[in-house]
Structure 1
């Protein structure tokens, strides 16, 4: 269920018997021909579909993340590491005050993973709580399904091209992009990164058949559901 479909007293009653919740986090950044909001769309959708049979509340996705590498692409929003850590900490503190003790953070953006040390520090201060960070797209079962489908998979490639991340009126090429030079991209500023990355795909096809994407999505939802249901102790 979505937390937006509950009122405060319903939350209070629920946490008395089940103290789990899900917090999706994403990013608004370039995804080549796909939506700028791809990371937040996918993180929230996989969370909602995974949590629905369990009745665990899902918060709205935190839309903005750390995306400094893409700062030269119009539409991208990037939060500094120091600010982002503060936001995540404030959210966790709020969830704890509300009674949640088992919190699954479903992450849709690789640039957000530096929050891991914060989670460890936060749990040291809140030993009655458990927090898990679940990078849904590269979790073991999901990534295995991706690689089984096509080993050339990367940011803004086919592996993020779902019906719900496409933009109306923005055609997507049915071609294969050669792998970018990651070392060359990693040692320069955002403007030169854009020059070296081009439209935004790191490598691989821009699209694959929808039936293949549906099969990957099913694995991702099931794997995320297991994270919600299991492994808290």
Structure 2
């Protein structure tokens, strides 16, 4: 029986698997609000996408890190937020443990935007100090505009926290936990905060450009919804997961066939 999950293997099996120079997927997620209708544990979706990708590619994957830096959601019960330094230290320790036993290709499947800066910092440090490959993809930002048009078929993009794509993804993967009956027919999203025009959780509009203002979700939406989950469905979720696994397979296959010690030859491009 093929095993792809390190936590399903004995150490002797892991030892043999590591000798094949595999890609190891490290899924990341969060415990935070996703609107009144969707579960707090979005890390479960990252786990499933990592599992399906590993099974298709022969990659290995480790247990999903279920917590992340969710500072701006701390006003909602169920949110468990780690400090940025804790996330960085955790990811560094995971990479170090894998590298100690010969792993040279690590891919993060990041299911929480708040983890992005930590992933970037750790990846750069590991590349510099350990000379190994670290790649990542931000799961919920992967759909192209064309794919969104195909899947949503709506005039306005319903993407956003508490909306899509997670509402449909969780409806497909974990329908038994969803509570669409708790979703109000309408909800208020504040467009301003004092004198500031809100663009999103991280940005405010400033004349013809944007600046940073560090808001919490409840400053913008008491219900915790920025997108539109009203038309979420398991059917949509299945299509979204399929697309994300396709991206995962492509990333893993390219990582599998790339040597980070390779020096790029620029001679062909010189004029």
Considering the TM-score relative to the shorter chain, is it more than 0.5? yes
Change in 2 beyond 3 A, CA 1:176/1:170: closer
Q: Confirm or deny: 8 A CA contact 1:179 1:203 kept in the other structure.
A: no
1:212 equivalent in alignment to 2:236? yes
Residues 175-208 of structure 1, C-alpha deviation per residue, up to 9 Å, x if partnerless?
4657653448553554xx3253111111223333
Change in 2 beyond 3 A, CA 1:180/1:229: farther
State the alpha-carbon separation in 2 of the partners of residues 125 and 206 from structure 1: 47
Across the aligned residues of Structure 1 and Structure 2, the Cα RMSD in angstroms comes to: 2.3
Instruction: Report the alpha carbon displacement of residue 22 of structure 1 after superposing the two structures with TM.
Output: 0.6
Residues 21-59 of structure 1, C-alpha deviation per residue, up to 9 Å, x if partnerless?
110011100011111002x01111101011102222111
Residues 82-128 of structure 1, C-alpha deviation per residue, up to 9 Å, x if partnerless?
1211111111101111221101110000111012022112210011x
Name the counterpart of 1:46: 49
Instruction: Report the alpha carbon displacement of residue 165 of structure 1 after superposing the two structures with TM.
Output: 4.4
Name the counterpart of 2:262: none
State the alpha-carbon separation in 2 of the partners of residues 169 and 175 from structure 1: 14
Q: Max radius of gyration: which structure? A: 2
Q: Confirm or deny: 8 A CA contact 2:188 2:221 kept in the other structure.
A: no
Name the counterpart of 2:181: 171
State the alpha-carbon separation in 2 of the partners of residues 98 and 66 from structure 1: 28
Please give the residue correspondences for 1:68-87 in structure 2 after superposition, counting only pairs within 5 Å: 68-87=71-90
What TM-score does the superposition give when structure 2 sets the normalisation length?
Answer: 0.76
State the alpha-carbon separation in 2 of the partners of residues 224 and 180 from structure 1: 35
Higher helix proportion (structure 1 or 2): 1
Of 119, 131, 134 in structure 2, the residue corresponding to residue 131 of structure 1 is 134
Instruction: Report the alpha carbon displacement of residue 10 of structure 1 after superposing the two structures with TM.
Output: 1.0
Please give the residue correspondences for 1:1-233 in structure 2 after superposition, counting only pairs within 5 Å: 1-32=4-35, 33-38=37-42, 40-115=43-118, 116-127=120-131, 129-139=132-142, 141=144, 144-148=146-150, 149=152, 150=154, 151-161=157-167, 162-163=170-171, 164-166=173-175, 167=177, 171-173=181-183, 175=185, 180-181=190-191, 182-183=198-199, 186=202, 187=213, 190=216, 193-231=217-255, 232-233=258-259
Q: Confirm or deny: 8 A CA contact 1:172 1:207 kept in the other structure.
A: no
Q: Confirm or deny: 8 A CA contact 1:64 1:77 kept in the other structure.
A: yes
State the number of aligned residues: 228
Q: Confirm or deny: 8 A CA contact 1:24 1:47 kept in the other structure.
A: yes
Structure 2 unpaired stretches of 5+ = 192-197, 203-212, 260-271
Structure 1 unpaired stretches of 5+ = none
